[in-house]
Structure 1
Amino acid sequence: MLDFVLPKEVAMLKILIIVTNTGKYASGKLETGLWLSELTHIYHAAKEEGYEITIASPNGGNVHVDPESLKRFTLDKISKEYWNDPFFRGLLKHSRNLERVSTQEFDLVYLAGGHGTMYDFPGDSVMQNLIQNQYESGKIVAAICHGVGGLLNVRLSGGEYLIKNKVLTGFNWFEESLAGRKKEVPFNLEAALKNRGAKYKKAMIPMTSKVVVDGNLITGQNPFSSKKMAKVVMSELSKRQHK
C-alpha cells in the first residue's frame, strides 16, 4: 500500500510557544510571570487555523501568570475566555519542558512575554540553540514584549549575535516607567537590544501596537501588539505554506 502524504498546502503546521516559569521579581516584593494576552492571541489564531500547538517553558510544569494581566482593564475578551477555560488553564499548569521538545521541528517558535521572561529567557542555552537552528533553517522566529529578551544572547553559527543589524522592537524603557517597574526589572531591555547591534524601532505613542518583520524574524513591542502580532505571524506562516 502506498503511503498517503498530505499536500504541502494542507499539511498541519506545528508551532512552539515558549513561556516563562518565573513568578516573582528578584526583590520578592511583587509577583510577575507570563503576560496572558501575549499567549492567548497567538494561541487562538493558531487554533483557528488547526495548527498543532505546543506550550513549553524552561523548567516545564506550572506557568505563573502576571496578576496585572488579569485585571479588568487589561483582560481582553479572548484572554478572558481562555482564562475561564479549564482545559487552557490545565495547559498552563502542565507546560512541556523545553529541553524535551527542543529536538522537534516547528514551523514557528514564538516567545511570549511578561516580565518573568527577563529572568529565565536570556541565559537559557537550550532556548538559544533552538532559536539558532530555527532561524538558520529559514523558519519563523517571533517574540513579543519582554519575550524579545530571549533573543539577546542567541548567536548564529558564525559567532555573531542573531539580532545584530536586525530591525526589531520590544518593550521600551519609557514604557517600563509607565508600568512602574523600572526599579524592579533586572535590566533595560531597549538598551540591551541596542547594545547587541539591533536596529530598534518603537511606536510613536507608548503602549500602542507595533510589529516589525525582518525576514523570518518577527517582533512585537508590548501587550497592545498581541492581536496584530498574531495576525502578522499567521499571515507570514500562510505565505510560506503556500509557496
Structure 2
Amino acid sequence: MQKVLIVETNVTRYGQTNDPTGLWLGEAAEFVDELQRANIEFDFVSPKGGFVPLDPRSMKYTDDEIMRIYESQDFVTRGLTNTMTPAEVHTEDYAAIYYTGGHGVMWDFPNDQPLQKIAQTIYQQGGYVTSVCHGIAGLLNLRDADGQYLIAGKKVTGFTTAEEIIAGKKSVVPFLNQQVATSHGAVFQKKRFYKPYAIADGQLITGQNPFSVRPVAKLLIAHLQEAS
C-alpha cells in the first residue's frame, strides 16, 4: 500500500505566550502537491485530531501551487478541520509517515506516545519515517525495536540552531532540534540557512527547512516507486 500519513500540529501559540503559531502551510501543501502528482494517496493525523491551526507567518510564503491546495475542499476538510486522531489510524495502511513543521510541533510532537507507536510500527514494517523543518521534533524520541533512539547513528537534518536564531525564536522554543538530535546520537547534517536540503539514510528521510519540502517528497516518492 503506497499511502502516506501526514502529521500536523494542534498547537495554536508559542508556549504560554499570546503569539500565534501552528502548521507551516507550505510544509503540508507542497508535500500534498507532490503526492498528488505521483498519484500517491495520503491521510492526515494530529495528536488530538480535528482542527489544525495555521502559523500566520506561513501565509506570507505562498505561491500558486500552495494556494491551489489550500483552497481545495479536500485539504480544508481532511487536513485542517477534521484530521484523524492517532486512535483512528490503521497503521498497516501506510508505507510512510511524514511530520510537517511549524513551531507548534515543538510542543505536541516530541512526547506523543500514540504517534510514536504509529511511527515505530510503520518503520518496523519496512516503511519510511520522514520529516521537514521543525517536524524532526517528532523523530527525536522515537526508539527502535531494541530501545535505541531511531535517529542514533543516522544522518538527519532539520531546522538548525542558526535558523532558529534568524527566525527570532531561539529564546521561545522549549528546546533546539539540532541540539537534541545530536545528543540522541544523530549525525546532524545541514546546509546554508534557508537553502533547500533533504537527506535519506535508510528508512529515514528528513529536510532542513520550509524550502526543503519538495526535495523530501521527491526522495520519498522515488523510494516508494522503487519498492513497488
**TM-score normalised by structure 2 residue count:** 0.95
Question: Which of 66, 69, 85 does residue 82 from structure 1 map onto?
Answer: 69
Partner of 1:172: 160
Shift, 1:223, TM fit: 0.2
Structure 2: segments with no counterpart, 5+ residues: none
3-state DSSP class of the match of 1:141?
strand
| Cα distance between partner residues in 1 of 2:141 and 2:77 | 31
Between Structure 1 and Structure 2, how many residues are aligned?
A: 227
**What does residue range 217-232 of structure 1 map to in structure 2 within 5 Å?**
217-232=204-219
1:177-202 alpha-carbon deviations (Å, 9 max, x no partner): 11111121111111000000100000
Displacement of 1:76 after TM fit? 2.5
Partner of 1:53: 42
Instruction: Identify the residue that residue 148 of structure 1 maps to in structure 2.
Output: 136
The answer to whether structure 1 residue 95 and structure 2 residue 83 are counterparts is yes
Aligned counterpart, 2:53: 64
Q: Provide the identity percentage.
A: 37
Write out the 4+ residue segments of structure 1 that deviate beyond 4 Å after TM superposition. none
Tell me how far apart the structure 1 counterparts of residues 103 and 63 of structure 2 sit (CA, whole Å). 19
Q: 2:201 aligns with which of 173, 191, 214?
A: 214
Q: Which has the larger radius of gyration?
A: 1
Deviations 1:39-66 (A, max 9, x none): 1122112122222211111110000110
The amino acid across from 2:128 in the alignment is I
Q: Aligned-residue CA RMSD in angstroms? A: 1.3
What's the TM-score once normalised by structure 1's chain length? Answer: 0.89
3-state SS, counterpart of residue 96 of structure 1: coil
8 A contact 1:102–1:126 mirrored in 2: no
Letter paired with 1:101: V
SS at match of 2:178: helix
1:110 matches 2:110: no
CA distance in 2, matches of 1:185, 1:191: 12
Matching residue within 189, 203, 220 for 1:233:
220
> Which segment drifts farther, 194-203 or 97-106?
97-106
Q: CA deviation digits over 1:56-79, x for unaligned, max 9?
A: 1111000011011101xx112211
Pairing of 1:111-150 with structure 2 (within 5 A): 111-150=99-138
Structure 1: gaps spanning 5 or more residues: 1-11
Instruction: Give the letter for the 1:164 counterpart.
Output: A
